[in-house]
Amino acid sequence: MSCRIAVFGTGYLGATHAACMAELGHDVLGVDIDEGKLAKLAMGELPFYEPGLPDVLRANIDAGRLRFTTSYQEAAEFADVHFIAVGTPQKQGELAADLRHVEAVVESLAPLLTRPAVIFGKSTVPAGTAARLGARVRTLAPATGQVELAWNPEFLREGFAVKDTLHPDRIVLGVDRDRPGNAEAVARDVYAPLLEEQIPFLVTDLATSELVKTSANAFLATKISFINAIAEVCEATGADVSVLADAIGHDARIGRRFLNAGIGFGGGCLPKDIRAFIAMAGELGAGQAFALLREVDSINMRRRNKMVELAREAVGGSFIGARVGVLGAAFKPDSDDVRDSPALNIAGQIQLQGAAVTVYDPEAMQNARQLFPTLQYAPDMTAACAGADVVMILTEWTQFTAVEPTDLAGAVRRRVVIDGRNCLDPVKWRGAGWSYRGIGRP
C-alpha cells in the first residue's frame, strides 16, 4: 500500500530517507527551511556526496513520487505519516545534544495536524525525548488524541546510506505503551517491502528505542577505541595490531569489523553521540557507568595527538620549515563530510606548529576549505606530496590505498610515509626505499 509521507529535514538522513521511501513506492514530500538546498534537490542534485543516492533521487523525482517544499502547511495537508529527520548536533561548549531543530519541527507541525497522523522521530535523541515530545504533540494538535508520536531510529552509515535504508540490519520502532495506537501498523505499511525480506522488526517502548540507537553508536565507538588502546600497547611492545585484530576477529563473538586501529573515529555521529550519552547518563544519575565512554573519547582524541608527534619525529623534531603532504580530509572514505574529521584536525594541528601542510581529498576539498581555509589544498595526490618531507595517509580512500610507492617517489623531498589508517603494505613501501610508520605496528 502506498503511503503519503512527509520527511522533515533534508540532510544526509532526511534526503536519503525521503528518496528511499519514494523508491519503496510511497508518495513523498521532503520538507526543509533551507530554500537553496530544496531547489538543488528538486533538480536532482545532492548538496553532499553519497554514492548511489543521486540516481535514486532523480528516478523518483522523474516518476513523480518525490517533491520538496518549505511549507509545513502543505506537508500537514498532504501526508498522514511524518518523519522527523533533522540534526541533533552537540551543544556548543557542552556534551549534551542540541534538540532545538527536533523541537522546532514538532512545534511547527503539530498545530497544523487536523486529522489522524503518525509522527515518527528518526533523529538521534537522549532517552525521554520522545515521551516529552509526544505530550507536546497531544497538547498542540487540533486532531485531539488522533496524532501519535513514535520513535524509529536510523542506523545508516554515510557512504552506504541507500543500501542501509533499503536493506537495514534491523528496524526498531518505539511506541508509547501507555497509549496503544496505529504506529506499528503504519510502520508495517511503510516498510512492507523490507519486512517481506525478513528484516528483523523490533517493537519496543519509547525509551528503549532511543537507547538502542545511542547504545549502538557507543558500542561501535568503544570497539574502535578498544583496538586503539591495544595499538598503544602494541607500540610499546613491538607487536602488530593489524595482525592481532585479524586473529581476535576470527572469534565470532568479537568479529573483525570496526577493529581497524588508526587515527580514530570522527564525523557527525559517533563523537557527538557518545558525548550526549555521557551527558544524559549524568542527568539521570547513572553517570558512573559512563566513565567508560569518557575513556573511549579520550583514547580517540589521544590518537590524533600521537599522529602529530609521529609526524614531528619524522621531520626531525620540529615542524618549522617542514612540508607535510596530507592525503585525506573526509572523516572516512566515500564521504565528503569533514565534521570532526580526525584527518583535518591533525592537518590543522601540524600547520599551527609551523609546517606547510598541503591537503588533497577526492571529494571533501570544498568542505575542508570552508572549515580550514588556512591549509593549502592541491588538485591531486602528487601535487599534495610535492616537496614533502613526510606524506600522511589520513583517510583510506581506495585511490590512496592503491597508490604505488613509485607513484609518489618523484614528487617528495624525503621518502617518509605515515599511515594513519594502517591501509598500506609496509613491506612494499620499505622495499621501495621509503621509511614507513603505521599505528600500532612495527
Active site residues: 269
Nearest to 170 by CA among 195, 192, 196: 195
Q: Which residues pair with 118 in a beta bridge?
A: 81, 148
- Using CB under 6 A as the binding rule, whether residue 269 contacts ligand UGA is answered as yes
Residue of 48, 83, 265, 372 interacting with ligand UGA (CB under 6 A):
265
**Burial of residue 403 (number of CB atoms within 10 Å: 0-12, 13-18, 19+):** buried
Sheet containing strand 376-377, strands side by side: 376-377, 356-360, 323-327, 390-393, 416-419, 435-437
Which string of x and - marks every residue 126-155 that binds ligand UGA (by CB under 6 A)?
----------------------------xx
Toward ligand UGA, which CB reaches closer, 262 or 405? 262
C-alpha cell read off for 346: 591533525
C-alpha cell read off for 170: 534491523
- Using CB under 6 A as the binding rule, whether residue 50 contacts ligand UGA is answered as no
Q: Let me know: does 118 contact 183? Beta carbons within 8 Å.
A: yes
- Using CB under 6 A as the binding rule, whether residue 332 contacts ligand UGA is answered as yes
- Using CB under 6 A as the binding rule, whether residue 264 contacts ligand UGA is answered as yes
Distance CA 185, CA 221 (A): 34
Choose the binding region for ligand UGA from 94-102, 269-277, 284-292, 429-437 (rule: CB under 6 A): 269-277
Toward ligand UGA, which CB reaches closer, 235 or 273? 273
Residue of 14, 30, 174, 262 interacting with ligand UGA (CB under 6 A):
262
Toward ligand UGA, which CB reaches closer, 81 or 156? 156
Q: Three-state SS across 397-416?
A: CHHHHCCCHHHHHCCCCCCE
Choose the binding region for ligand UGA from 85-93, 265-273, 277-285, 347-355 (rule: CB under 6 A): 265-273
Toward ligand UGA, which CB reaches closer, 299 or 355? 299
Distance CA 334, CA 157 (A): 10
Q: How far is the CB of 13 from ligand UGA (least distance, A)?
A: 7
Choose the binding region for ligand UGA from 62-70, 138-146, 266-274, 368-376 (rule: CB under 6 A): 266-274
Q: How far is the CB of 222 from ligand UGA (least distance, A)?
A: 12
Q: Three-state SS across 349-376?
A: HHHHCCCEEEEECCCCHHHHHHHCCCCE
Where in 100-129 is the site for ligand UGA (CB under 6 A)?
Answer: 124
Q: Which helix (H) or strand (E) holds 172?
A: strand 171-175
- Using CB under 6 A as the binding rule, whether residue 400 contacts ligand UGA is answered as no
Distance CA 330, CA 378 (A): 15
Nearest to 41 by CA among 68, 17, 72: 68
Q: How far is the CB of 161 from ligand UGA (least distance, A)?
A: 8
Tell me how many degrees the CA angle 296-297-302 measures, rounded to the nearest 5. Answer: 100
Q: Is 267 left (phi over 0), alpha (psi -120 to 50) or beta?
A: left
Distance CA 204, CA 195 (A): 17
Where in 65-104 is the site for ligand UGA (CB under 6 A)?
Answer: none
Toward ligand UGA, which CB reaches closer, 42 or 248? 248
- Using CB under 6 A as the binding rule, whether residue 217 contacts ligand UGA is answered as yes
Q: Are strands 147-151 and 435-437 parallel, antiparallel or unpaired?
A: unpaired
Toward ligand UGA, which CB reaches closer, 214 or 351? 214
Measured torsion, CA atoms of residues 270, 273, 275, 279, in degrees rounded to the nearest 10 = -170
Residue of 9, 14, 174, 266 interacting with ligand UGA (CB under 6 A):
266
Where in 241-260 is the site for ligand UGA (CB under 6 A)?
Answer: 258-260
The phi, psi pair for 171, rounded to 5°, reads: -115, 130
- Using CB under 6 A as the binding rule, whether residue 9 contacts ligand UGA is answered as no
Q: End-to-end distance of the chain based on CA atoms, in angstroms?
A: 58
Q: How far is the CB of 247 from ligand UGA (least distance, A)?
A: 15
Residue of 220, 357, 408, 423 interacting with ligand UGA (CB under 6 A):
220
Distance CA 390, CA 311 (A): 7
- Using CB under 6 A as the binding rule, whether residue 368 contacts ligand UGA is answered as no
Distance CA 436, CA 428 (A): 10
- Using CB under 6 A as the binding rule, whether residue 267 contacts ligand UGA is answered as yes
Toward ligand UGA, which CB reaches closer, 131 or 269? 269
Toward ligand UGA, which CB reaches closer, 172 or 270? 270
C-alpha cell read off for 365: 576539498
- Using CB under 6 A as the binding rule, whether residue 277 contacts ligand UGA is answered as no
Chain residues that interact with ligand UGA, rule: CB under 6 A: 124, 154-158, 217, 220, 224, 258-260, 262, 264-267, 269-270, 273, 331-332
